[in-house]
Amino acid sequence: MKKDKNKVHKNKIIFVTLIIFLSVWLELFFLNTFLADLYLKKGKDSVAKNNYSLALANFNKAITYNSKEASYYKNRAQCYAQISFLLNDSPEKSVYKELALGDLEYAYNLNPKNLKFVRDSFYVYSLLALKEPADSKIVLISKDVFVKNKQIYNTDLGTLVDIGVYEKRLNWFEDYEVTQSLIKKLRPDVLKWYPNLIN
């Protein structure tokens, strides 16, 4: 009987310990997520004020608190891209573009089926490719991302429209014609709704 009481007591201690451990872990998890989101917002606010160094510091803190969220990397990549756009012919321009590409690739690999991230990344890829020679590494990577996503999401009208808009802005007319034909197959009337997609 004493053995049974000791066993019950031991089981209660184990159970209480597990509950305490689980509650502390959950609290830390939610606290880290909250802090990461807070720094993400601060980073976005800093970008809006063109304070890119503060924005990068905030995005880095967000990633420190939650390194598994693709949107934090996408926002930092966008910040890198905007900095590179301002640098004109500075040697640092290519460094920032490489950092942006690295963040985009890492974020994609975190969750390759996250369509919101994929669509949001198109803007960053187009910003990186802007004013680049047609045969540059950045342009080839950006085009490859668009082509790959046209194949994966060939029935997703919103994705195709996003890609078409950026291809047209970047004067990638051959790629744009392919996208336009995919859109016409799905919904020909959509081209009337988006005047910037019509030739």
For residue range 123-154, what is the model confidence (pLDDT) as tens digits? Answer: 999 999 998 888 899 999 999 999 999 999 99
- Tell me how far apart the alpha carbons of residues 179 and 25 are, in angstroms, rounded to a whole number: 47
Expressed as residue numbers, the domain containing 24 is 2-197
Helix (H, G, I), strand (E, B) or coil at 88: coil
- Per-residue tokens: 170: 């970047």
**What average pLDDT does the chain have?**
88
What does the pLDDT read at residue 6? 67
Distance CA 45, CA 116 (A): 21
Q: Strand locations in the chain, DSSP E?
A: none
Band the pLDDT of 90: cuts 50, 70, 90: confident
Neighbours of 150 (CB within 10 A): 19
What is the per-residue pLDDT for 104? 97
12-26, 29-43, 131-145, range with the lowest pLDDT: 12-26
Higher pLDDT, 156 or 1: 156
CA torsion 155→161→163→169, rounded to 10°? 160
Residue 150 in contact with residue 163, Cβ under 8 Å? Answer: yes
Type of residue at 80 = Y
pLDDT for 73: 97
Which CATH number belongs to the domain containing residue 74 in this structure? 1.25.40.10
Q: What share of the chain is helix, strand, coil (3-state, %, to 5)?
A: 80, 0, 20
Q: What is the pLDDT of residue 189?
A: 85
How many domains would you assign to the chain?
A: 1
Candidates 129, 107, 130; CA nearest to 119 is 107
**Minimum mean pLDDT range among 10-24, 68-82, 137-151:** 10-24
How many C-beta atoms surround the C-beta of residue 66 within 10 A?
Answer: 18
**Among candidate residues 47, 45, 106, 96, the one with its CA nearest the CA of residue 71:** 106
Rounded Cα distance, 174 and 158, in Å: 20
Would you state the structure tokens that stand for residue 143, as one six-digit string? 């085009």
**Is the confidence at residue 23, as pLDDT, over 70?**
no
| Residue of 185, 147, 98, 35 whose CA lies nearest to 106 | 98
